[in-house]
Amino acid sequence: MTVLPYADALAAYDPVLGLEVHVELNTTSKMFCGCSTEFGAEPNTQVCPVCLGLPGSLPVVNAKAVESAIRIGLALNCTIAEWCRFARKNYFYPDMPKNYQISQYDEPIAYAGWTEVVLDGEIYRIGIERAHMEEDTGKSLHVGGATGRIHGADYSLLDYNRSGVPLIEIVTKPVEGTGAKAPEVARAYVTMLRDLLRALGVSDVRMEQGSLRCDANVSLRPVGRSSFGTRTETKNVNSLRSVERAVRYEITRQAAILASGGRVIQETRHWHEDSGITTPGRNKETAEDYRYFPEPDLVPIAPSREWVEELHETLPEPPTVRLKRVRADWGFSELEMRDVVSAGAVNAIEATVAAGATPQSARKWWLTEIARHANEVGVDLEAVGVTPQQVAEIQALVENGTINDKLARQVFEGVIAGEGSPAEVVTARKLAIVSDEGALAAAVNEAINANPDIVDKIKSGKVQATGALIGSVMKQMRGQADATRVREMILEKIG
C-alpha cells in the first residue's frame, strides 16, 4: 500500500473531515420493546417478537430514549424538531431480522447545531448536521477464517441481544480548515463528545464495548480549492487513538493516489488496529439504495416546547466552560491542562479527585504511569484496567507512608495485571516500606562501614554526598524504605 509522507500530503492537499458517531443509550429497555439492554448477557436471551422482527409484532417508542436524544441535541446546540418521524432504512443483513432498520431520515429529532473542541489551547468550532434516533442491529460472529470477517469463515453465529438497543447517530457538518491538525481535531472531537455524553448521563460511552463508535469520513482537495474531493468512510473505529491514526492514515493514502494522478473511490473502509491501515469495504450506498420511507407502525414524535425547555434546564455545563472551571479548581497551569485535555484524561482526573486524591497527584499518575501502559498496549487511558478509585487508593498509600512513588509503580503493575486491589497487591508482592527501625539501622550501619571515603566527605561538610549512602541503603532494602528517614539516620550516625 503506497502512502505519501504526512508532511508532503499536507503541503499539497487540504483535508476535510466528517465524523459520524453512534452512541448506545443506557436506557434499561430497548428502543421499541421492553427487552433488557444489559451488556454481556448470554446470546439471544434478551429478545422478543418485536426485536426479532417477527410478523405481526408492533414497535412502541421508548420515551426515555427520546428524552436522551433531545438532551443530546440541546447539548450540541441543535434545533429540536417540533414534529418528526421515524423512517425505514431498507437493506438485507443477517444481523437485522426485519430487513430494515428503524431510523430517521429527512426528519431528524435534532439538527443544525454546533460545538467546540479545544486542542493545544486553540478552539475549533464543529458544526453539527444532525442527531437522529435509530436502533442498533444484532451482532454477527464469524467463526473460522483469519480475520473474524465473513470472508473465509466456516460459519456465522448471530446474537440478537443488541438488536433494537437505542442509538443516537451524531453527524458533523464538513470540518474544514484544520490542516495538519485534522487527525488530532478528530480525536479531540470524539473525546469531547464522550465526556459530554457521560456528563449528560445518557450512555456509558465505552468505546471498547462498542457503546460509542466512530465512522471517520476523510477527503482531500488540492490546497486552495473550495470544492470537496471524494471521501471515504472508515467504519467503527473503536478507540480515541484509533480515530487519530485512521484519519492520519487515510490522508496519506489518498494523497498518494491523487499525487500519482489517480482517483479516490467513494467507499467504506475497514480500520486495522494491528497494522495501522485501512482496507476497502463495500462501495458506498447512496440514500436511494436504502429506499427510505416513513415508518408506518409508529406515530410521529412531537415534543412539546415546554418539555424541551424543561430538558434544557437539566443540561451539564458546556465542554469549554467545564474545562475552564476544572482548570481553576485544580490549579493547573495552561500547559498542564493542555496535556490533560490532549490525553483525554479530564474525566479520569475528575473521578480520581472525587475519590480523594489531590489534583496534582491524580494528574501525575494518569499522565505518566497509566499513560505509559496505555501506549504500550495501544489502548485508551480508560481501557488500561485501573479505575480512578484505585488510583486514589494508591496515592493514599503513598501519602500514609506505606509505599513510595517508586513502589507505587509496582502496585500499578499488579493492579493492571489483575492481582487485586492496591492494598492486596502491596501485601501479595510484599511492597510495604520497612518501618522496622532495627532493620533500617542495620542497613545504615552496613552502608557506612562499606563506604569510609563517602563518610569522610560528609564529615568534611559535603552533605550532598549523603545521596550515595541513601542509595546504598535503599538498594539493600529493595527500595522499601522511607528515604527521608534513612537520611536522618545516616546523619545521626555520622554526626
Using CB under 5 A, list all residues that contact Zn ion: 33, 35, 48, 50-51
Q: Which parts of 177-230 fold into alpha helices (H)?
A: 182-200
d(CA 166, CA 136): 6
Q: Please answer whether residues 450 and 416 qualify as being in contact, where contact means their C-beta atoms are separated by less than 8 angstroms.
A: no
Other CB atoms within a 10 A radius of the CB of residue 440 amount to 20
**Least Å distance between CB 48 and Zn ion?**
3
**Least Å distance between CB 32 and Zn ion?**
8
The grid coordinates of residue 420 equal 487485586
Q: Please answer whether residues 383 and 239 qualify as being in contact, where contact means their C-beta atoms are separated by less than 8 angstroms.
A: yes
Which amino acid is located at 158 in the chain? L
Q: How far is CA 183 from CA 6, 31, 242, 490, in A?
A: 11, 33, 10, 54
**CB-nearer residue toward Zn ion: 35 or 486:** 35
**Least Å distance between CB 14 and Zn ion?**
47
The contacts of residue 389 (CB under 8 Å, 6+ apart) are: 351, 352, 355
* Closest by Cα among 20, 21, 13 to 264: 13
How many Å is the Cα radius of gyration of the chain?
28
**Least Å distance between CB 71 and Zn ion?**
24
**CB-nearer residue toward Zn ion: 39 or 228:** 39
Report the phi/psi class of residue 17: left, alpha or beta, with left for phi > 0 and alpha for psi in -120 to 50: beta
**CB-nearer residue toward Zn ion: 138 or 183:** 138
**CB-nearer residue toward Zn ion: 19 or 33:** 33
**CB-nearer residue toward Zn ion: 44 or 421:** 44
**CB-nearer residue toward Zn ion: 138 or 319:** 138
Question: Could you identify the residue written with the cell 479548581?
Answer: 329
**Least Å distance between CB 163 and Zn ion?**
8
Question: Could you identify the residue written with the cell 469520513?
Answer: 217
**Least Å distance between CB 303 and Zn ion?**
24
The contacts of residue 377 (CB under 8 Å, 6+ apart) are: 384
The grid coordinates of residue 378 equal 495501544
**Least Å distance between CB 371 and Zn ion?**
41
**Least Å distance between CB 35 and Zn ion?**
3
**CB-nearer residue toward Zn ion: 50 or 340:** 50
Q: Which parts of 6-97 fold into alpha helices (H)?
A: 6-12, 63-75
**CB-nearer residue toward Zn ion: 43 or 356:** 43
Burial of 42 (0-12, 13-18, 19+ CB in 10 A): exposed
